[in-house]
Amino acid sequence: MSLSTGDNPSTFPSASRPLGHPLTQVDLESNSDLAHTDHAAFVSVMQTRLRILPRITRPKGPHDRADEHALGRAFVELERAYNDHWRMNSETERDPRVAYWFADVLFRLEGYACALEVIDDLRCLSSMRSAFLDETREMVVRAQAVQDARSVERLRLAMLHPAGQSYVYKPGNLAPLPDALPDLPGLIIPLVAPGAVSLAPDELTRLVRAISIHTNLIEGIFSLDLPSTCALVDHTFPAPDDLLRHGNNDPKYVQDVLIDTQEATQYVLDRARSDTTTICASTFVQALHRTITRTACVASYSGSEPGTRTSTYIGRGEFKRVSNHVFARTRKFHIYCPPQFVERELVTLLEMLKLYLEKPAPQPPYAYGLWLAAWFHHRFVNIHPFRDGNGRVTRCLTTGILTHYGFLPLRTPAGSSPWSSFSRASNCRLCSLQRPRPSRRCRACRTACSGSGVSPKLRAS
C-alpha cells in the first residue's frame, strides 16, 4: 500500500519517469525541471526508504528485534533527511519528491496524522499540481477514517468478548486520592528532606543511568544480560558498543534510546527540584513522550496475517487515535480510556495532581508522597494516553513526584516484570552463565536456580 497506485507517482511535474524504478534507472540529470533541486537529498531518502519497506511487515522469528532496531534507525534517518532538506532550502530549492517519499513511509507505518502534515507542506509549493496532491490527501484521510472505524469495532468486540473484562475505564469518573490514607510501615522513610536530593552529582547521574536502562528493559526495547547492565550503569553515555551488543541488539539504536531516556529523566528531576507543578501540564507530558520516543518511535505488533509482525509509527507526543486494550494474565480484557476522551481525562488528572502537590502535605509527608505517586501512576496508566511508551512516561513522571517528597528517583529493576529481559534470560550466580528462564536448571552447572538467579545451594550457605 502506498500513497499512489503501484508506487508510480507519474503525475509529479518534476518526474521524467516512474520513481518506483531502481535508482540506477532514474536519470536525474536529464530532467531540466530538476536542475534546481537537491538530487543528493532525494537519493538519500530513496535509499533509506528502500531499507525500510521490507521490514514493515515481516515474518516472526529470532531476528525480530534486529529488524525492529534497523527499521527504527532507518526511519529516524529518513525523518532527519526530510527535516534538514525542508528547513535548509527555500521553496524554489526544495525537491518535492523528498517530501512525497517521506509521506509514503509514514502512510505505510500508519502515521496518518504526520503524513497529512507532510502532504500539506508539499501542497504549499507553488510548483505542485493541486489535483494530484488533493487526491493523495484524500487517500490518507480515508485511511485514517478506516483506522478509526476499526478501532471502534475492536473496542466493541473486546467489550462483548465472552471472557469478560477485568477493568473498563469509565470517562468522567477519575477517583480522587482518598482523604483517609492507610498507615505505612515505619521502615518506609524518605532519605532526604522534601525537595532535595542528597546524592553527589556523580552518584545521581549513575542512578539516572540505571533508571534509563531498566525502564527500557521492562518494555523489551532491547535486551541485556546482568553483567553488561552492571557495567553499563558505571559507564557514561555514549557507552562502548561491546556493552550493548547483546542478542540481536543494534548497538547504535540502543545507545540513542538510552541517551533519549536519560535526557528525559534528568529533565523531570530538575523540574521536581525547582517547581514540580510544571510537570502538571499536558504539553509537558507530550514533550516528555516526544523525547523518550525520539529514537524508539516505531513499535511492532502482531500482524493481520498469522506468523507475521507489522511495525507502526507510534506518533511522538501525539495522543492515541486507536483504542489500546490488553488481554491480561487474568484471561480477561483490560480496557483503557477510549481515544476520544484521552485529552480531557489527562488534563483533569494533571489538574488534580497540581492541587495535591500545592496543598500542605499531612503528617507524615513521606507517606502522603508515596500514596500520591501510587495514585497518579495507577490513574495515568489506565488512561494510557499514547499508542506506545505509556509505561516509560509514567515511571518518569512518578520519579518527579517521589523526588518532590524527598525520595530518591524511582528505579524499577527489570527483573520485577514478568515480561522483562531478566525474567526471560538471567544469569546463574553459580557459574555466571546465562540460563533460559527462572526456576529452571542452569544448562551449564545443572543447578536449580530460583527466580532471583541465586542458586538455592548458595542461598542456604
* Residue in 53, 68, 374 with CA at minimum distance from that of residue 220: 68
On whether the CB atoms of residues 229 and 211 are closer than 8 A, the answer is no
Query: Which fold is adopted by the domain 166-199+210-233+257-416?
Result: Fic-like fold (1.10.3290)
State the pairing for strand pair 333-335/434-435.
Answer: unpaired
Provide the total of helices (H) and of strands (E) in the chain, helices listed first.
15, 8
Residue 107 sits at the vertex; the CA angle it makes with 102 and 108, to the nearest 5 degrees, is 100
- Give the pTM: 0.79
Q: What angle, 0 to 180 degrees and rounded to 10, lies between the N-to-C axes of helices 342-358 and 282-292?
A: 110
Q: Which conformational region is residue 233 in: left (phi greater than 0), alpha (psi within -120 to 50 degrees), or beta? A: alpha
pLDDT number for residue 286 = 95
- The per-residue pLDDT string of the chain (461 residues; one tens digit each, 9 = 90 and over) reads 444 433 333 333 333 223 333 323 333 344 444 444 556 777 888 888 888 888 888 887 766 788 889 999 999 999 999 998 888 888 777 878 888 889 989 999 999 999 999 988 888 775 555 677 788 889 999 999 998 898 888 888 888 887 788 888 899 989 999 888 877 765 455 555 554 455 667 788 888 889 999 999 988 898 888 888 888 888 888 888 888 888 788 899 999 999 999 999 999 988 887 788 888 999 999 999 999 999 999 988 877 677 788 899 999 999 999 888 887 777 788 889 999 999 999 999 999 999 999 888 776 777 888 889 999 999 999 999 999 999 999 999 999 898 888 776 655 555 444 333 333 334 443 333 333 444 444 444 444 444 333 333 333 32
Q: Are 42 and 98 spatial neighbours (Cβ–Cβ below 8 Å)?
A: yes
Q: What's residue 42's pLDDT?
A: 78
| Rg of the chain on CA atoms, in Å | 25
Predicted confidence at residue 289, as pLDDT, reads 96
Per-residue pLDDT, 55: 85
